[in-house]
Structure 1
């Protein structure tokens, strides 16, 4: 007997999660003919958490697949380009200099027999040239304030991979407009009642309007409005490994003469870290911190002190649930976005996780009543993705040598809660981190290249004899850097690359 086709989907919650989900599923299911009615219900009473304003580079592929115009997207969302992250102060100062390194989105290939990391290690200049400076064109562009494109770069492409800094509220509105134009139904109102039989939703009520669907998608954020009533004891916390569970955000205009930078800055403070994200019209700032060590007032005061703005702007305080649900898909309900989980925004993965969630859902959603094996597969993959991401974020903390506060002393022990990472770190004391060390993981965006930038940026170098003649290795790097020189001559300053 043929399975019943999927005919209807109701999404509860707007913002990035809801509208990305609606836009993708509509394009996937209705690309050549109307097959499935998709309706999104969002409330005017519940605000969007509009502070997660940076992305990883893979989000370009999502936007491109949705048929969006890159220049229009950037204009509508006040967006700038992001070529990576500058990490500052994550280790103790050396000889009075603040520790820093870039985490770019690409790693180049070096001529010769050795891989790039071994070439850099064997060249005998690790104390003179950071790994990101040796390995990445993106690092060079960021240091010089250049964007990721040349004048001839087509939409969605550059000389290096790139993401965006964008206004999350404006992006939600832009995606809403595009989704409605594409045929997604839109209802403004607050869901006030949920009918369910066991783990299956039978109907939603919104201002006396009743909604029935084959599938319900929970994009209601930390409230988990749809998923929570279906299954109890469905949460797993990551706060033992990642204790930063609070944030305070502050948006400020640029000072005269300041241009937006093509990278995010993450500066470590006493009890967490500060983000700085440059949009076209302003800079978004925030302090991510351990709420068990600071009050909201103390955190806001420290953020304002760091920014040198004791009174300007209104601060927004956020409580974050660090972890994820055990089952993202329960009965006929799937949680996407903050409803499914959250890991602190150190590597700007919020939109990436939405992208992954909805793409996986589309391939598992084969009929109106998917078999339990499809739901089990989806839940297994999503749990693996969150666990891998947790491990990568812990990597940034556990390698620190800072001893100045109890927060950083605890951070060094965070690896105790990620046994796989502890084993890998011991291995990487004796060999270069390579692809096969991470093969078989669930990560789709952070690979061995990304791990090397953090490992070597945090001075976790393998203790190896030279794998090649130092002079030959330095010559190979020089040849690579000559290519960097040629490209940087073609690149324009970041501000000049932004669409008008």
Structure 2
């Protein structure tokens, strides 16, 4: 092994993946002086997919760590705030009313002798005819969502909120914004078309373009689903998740707002016949799309079903059809090449994790990319962590499907059985019939964003509620839930409306 210092990094591919990675590595290695040469090669001829426009809450910490002004970021990307996801139609209607539940980003601290989830469950067992949905009873975000309030007050600093929050943003504009910040920080930008990737002894020696060849210590593959660089080193390197997660295509649309229509501070995910529709509100337009099983619907059928769901009141600006590879690399780091973003893997964006996985992949380099030729032990450690993250996310997304009671077609009948492909999940679901889901049940996993609190919102929103028998006075149960109501009221009183906050940031 050669432990010589790292001198150069070449990133191939732009978009959100390339420029997030470039900016992060520039801040990591060159924060005080230009020690490592970082270049990014991208083609003018290859467009940005630019469809995924929602994030999880942890992306705030990435932007903050990069020293970005949050107000500038929001303005430059036509962004709005996101307090969570409203899931609709994932189970059969009850009494003619569409099923829905809310998944926020937060977890409120216990305020009594038992945890909030146990208090809610025991209260439901006592008052079966007057049960309040879990998110409504235990989160502050639900009341903000219900009243289209933001998680911001007049006095909070940037990246702070009453509750954790993510963003809805224009992915194309975000890539342009990060590109500007990265090049200002010293990242070399080269517009060229890659024509060949030269390999010797398990490493990339140089990338050949129509503007010449480029050598580097480390190459980072941000070329999307085709994985141009990583494929040149290892062909049989893909683990598919499509058996348990068959939604492998999407039709995405951008729509104009109706007069006086206000952007919502939450995402909606509404289940249809063979998948689900997202609705994401930006300041200037709405992004929507149907993620579906391409083995069951044609492109034309999917587009027709999406239009039927949306109606024809709002003008469609743009429509694009996408093919998706559901799964991940067995090895994300091969030789001197690291696959990032779609080149490394993809799981349907039901929980808005695309940018989150780029963030995690880049951040892991801080502890792993420590020389020009790291050992195999380093590469194995990185690969184990990244594969663990995708595997944990696969489990969490399957959870949304396998709890359904819908049986209206083969797609939903198979969805209800999808946990069979993840025995560990089936074991946990059996366990969670008799106890609350808690941290220790998931503590041996890799996920850094979806923990027991997130699992509870999905489990209880999908009516997978345990029967527990904990001796606790009714007065204590009422006190805990009443205390949460008080916190909800205070949050509502302090929060700016979503529209008021968006108008405020335009002034800075």
The normalised TM-score by structure 1 is: 0.98
2:466 to 462, 467, 474: 462
Q: How does 1:230-241 map to 2 (within 5 A)?
A: 230-241=233-244
Q: Tell me how many residue pairs correspond in the alignment.
A: 500
Instruction: State the alpha-carbon separation in 1 of the partners of residues 230 and 284 from structure 2.
Output: 38
Residue in 2 aligned with 1:417? 421
1:371 aligns with 2:371: no
Preserved CA contact (<8 Å) 1:118 1:467:
no
Deviates more, 1:117-126 or 1:434-443: 117-126
Secondary structure at 1:261 match in 2: coil
Secondary structure at 2:232 match in 1: coil
Q: How does 1:145-164 map to 2 (within 5 A)?
A: 145-164=148-167
The alpha carbon displacement at 1:110 in A equals: 3.5
Instruction: State the alpha-carbon separation in 1 of the partners of residues 491 and 142 from structure 2.
Output: 12
1:306 to 302, 305, 309: 309
Residue in 2 aligned with 1:69? 69
Secondary structure at 1:205 match in 2: strand
Preserved CA contact (<8 Å) 2:389 2:446:
yes
Secondary structure at 1:41 match in 2: strand
Residue in 2 aligned with 1:385? 389
What per-residue deviation string (whole Å, max 9, x for no partner) do you get for residues 136-161 of structure 1? 10111111110011111110001000
1:352 to 346, 353, 356: 356
Secondary structure at 1:103 match in 2: strand
Residue in 2 aligned with 1:19? 19
Q: How does 1:74-473 map to 2 (within 5 A)?
A: 74-124=74-124, 125=127, 128-309=131-312, 312-473=316-477
Secondary structure at 2:270 match in 1: strand
Instruction: State the alpha-carbon separation in 1 of the partners of residues 67 and 417 from structure 2.
Output: 45
The alpha carbon displacement at 1:123 in A equals: 1.4
Instruction: State the alpha-carbon separation in 2 of the partners of residues 223 and 213 from structure 1.
Output: 21
Instruction: State the alpha-carbon separation in 1 of the partners of residues 152 and 268 from structure 2.
Output: 20
The alpha carbon displacement at 1:2 in A equals: 8.5
Instruction: State the alpha-carbon separation in 1 of the partners of residues 257 and 77 from structure 2.
Output: 17
Structure 2 residue runs without a partner (length 5+): none
Preserved CA contact (<8 Å) 1:198 1:230:
no
What per-residue deviation string (whole Å, max 9, x for no partner) do you get for residues 233-285 of structure 1? 10000001100000000000111111000000000001100000000001100
Instruction: State the alpha-carbon separation in 1 of the partners of residues 347 and 2 from structure 2.
Output: 40
What per-residue deviation string (whole Å, max 9, x for no partner) do you get for residues 152-172 of structure 1? 111000100000000000000
What per-residue deviation string (whole Å, max 9, x for no partner) do you get for residues 95-148 of structure 1? 111111110000212421100100111113465200001111011111111001
Instruction: State the alpha-carbon separation in 1 of the partners of residues 11 and 476 from structure 2.
Output: 59
The alpha carbon displacement at 1:31 in A equals: 1.2
Preserved CA contact (<8 Å) 2:434 2:467:
yes
Provide the alpha-carbon RMSD of the alignment: 1.2
The alpha carbon displacement at 1:484 in A equals: 1.4
Instruction: State the alpha-carbon separation in 2 of the partners of residues 64 and 411 from structure 1.
Output: 38
Runs of 4 or more, structure 1, over 2 Å off, are: 124-128, 309-314, 469-472
Residue in 2 aligned with 1:48? 48
Instruction: State the alpha-carbon separation in 1 of the partners of residues 358 and 231 from structure 2.
Output: 19
Instruction: State the alpha-carbon separation in 2 of the partners of residues 436 and 58 from structure 1.
Output: 21
The normalised TM-score by structure 2 is: 0.97
Instruction: State the alpha-carbon separation in 1 of the partners of residues 412 and 474 from structure 2.
Output: 36
Structure 1 residue runs without a partner (length 5+): none
Secondary structure at 2:414 match in 1: helix
| Cα distance change on mapping 1:37 and 1:408 into 2, 3 Å | same
The alpha carbon displacement at 1:194 in A equals: 1.0
Instruction: State the alpha-carbon separation in 2 of the partners of residues 367 and 110 from structure 1.
Output: 45
1:495 to 473, 495, 499: 499
The alpha carbon displacement at 1:466 in A equals: 4.8
Deviates more, 1:308-317 or 1:246-255: 308-317
